[in-house]
Amino acid sequence: MNWDCHVHVFGPAAQFPVASAHGYTPPVRTLAQVEELAAAAGIAHLVLVQPSVYGTDLFCLLEALRAGAGRHRGVAVVGAGISGADLENLHALGVRGVRFNLVSPDGNSLEGFDEIARRIAPLGWHIQFLIAPEDLRRLQELRKRTAVPFVLDHFAGLTIAHGQDGEHAGVLRELMVRDDCWIKLSGFYRLSDDHGYRDLDPLLLELATIAPDRIVWGSDWPHTWFFEGKRGSPPAYAATLAPLDRCLPPELRQKALQNNPWRLYL
């Protein structure tokens, strides 16, 4: 069964208040809503990523994981002081990684990175990063400090403007040839100047070729970029799958949607 490895859920503000609204104020977007959209596109499993506006308050994320009854997985934002018992509880509910957000106004940057990496290593979790391309050199340095796998959101922020022969693309290649770095083929609408995202096709195909066993796909539903007042309208759910259908041969598409997620989120 196929996976969507990057979605967010938001509950009613009275029940799940945001920690800070510097980035955006989210409308209600529920697990049931995304499950319906995903099922229509042939997706059975979701990875629920903690949104920046909730900070380290995981109540909404964990409620959704409970409602999913084991079908889905989660990526949390935690503080360095989290207890071992709490980490074990998160693991039992389906959390398999922690996120560091170096981009959003409410992001946690690299707070507590070394301690958190040390604490999650025995659980077999990964560290997920939302970064700008300028942060890739920084990730190379972080890579020396832990053996925990890295997962890079949204093509690591690369756009067509960075060029496949540019410095940032070169650093990304250096990271992706390692067997401890993964990348999410997600957030197309954030990076593309083309309505069909075709300008990202060469990068998508190159990354899939370099690291066929470490690519995963995500819809980025419900597309929080547009909650921040960006121009345009959110894409239809199925439109975020179109680049994979267009660019990847069946065996690579299956790796991105099935084989690789099963390994990463086991």
pLDDT, tens digit (0-9, with 9 covering 90-100), for 68-84 = 999 999 999 999 999 99
Residue 66 has pLDDT above 70, yes or no: yes
Per-residue pLDDT, averaged over 116-132, amounts to 97
Contacts (Cβ under 8 Å, ≥6 apart) of 105 = 20, 22, 23, 52
Cβ-in-10-Å burial (0-12, 13-18, 19+) of 183 comes to buried
Contacts (Cβ under 8 Å, ≥6 apart) of 10 = 16, 26, 27, 28, 29, 30, 51, 60, 222
The CA-based angle 37-212-200, given to 5 degrees, is: 60
Does 220 participate in catalysis according to the annotation? Answer: yes
Residue 136 has pLDDT above 70, yes or no: yes
Residue 193 has pLDDT above 70, yes or no: yes
Q: What is the pLDDT of residue 19?
A: 87
- Look at 65-79, 128-142, 218-232, 241-255 and tell me which has the smallest mean pLDDT: 218-232
Per-residue pLDDT, averaged over 119-125, amounts to 98
Q: What is the pLDDT of residue 32?
A: 98
pLDDT above 70: percentage of residues in the chain: 97
pLDDT digits (tens, 9 = 90+) for 150-164: 999 999 999 866 656
Confidence of residue 10 (pLDDT cuts 50, 70, 90): very high
236: left (phi over 0), alpha (psi -120 to 50) or beta: beta
Q: What is the pLDDT of residue 105?
A: 84
Residue 181 has pLDDT above 70, yes or no: yes
Residue 261 has pLDDT above 90, yes or no: yes
Between 217 and 161, name the one with better pLDDT.
Answer: 217
CB contact at 8 A, 254 and 209: no
Residue 49 has pLDDT above 80, yes or no: yes
Distance separating alpha carbons of residues 203 and 157, to the nearest angstrom: 12
The pTM is what?
Answer: 0.96
Per-residue pLDDT, averaged over 196-213, amounts to 93
Per-residue pLDDT, averaged over 123-132, amounts to 97
Residue 165 has pLDDT above 70, yes or no: no
Q: Of 4, 135, 153, 220, which one is the catalytic site residue? A: 220
Domains and CATH numbers, the chain: 2-264 (3.20.20.140)
Residue 20 has pLDDT above 80, yes or no: no
Per-residue pLDDT, averaged over 81-102, amounts to 97
Between 20 and 170, name the one with better pLDDT.
Answer: 170
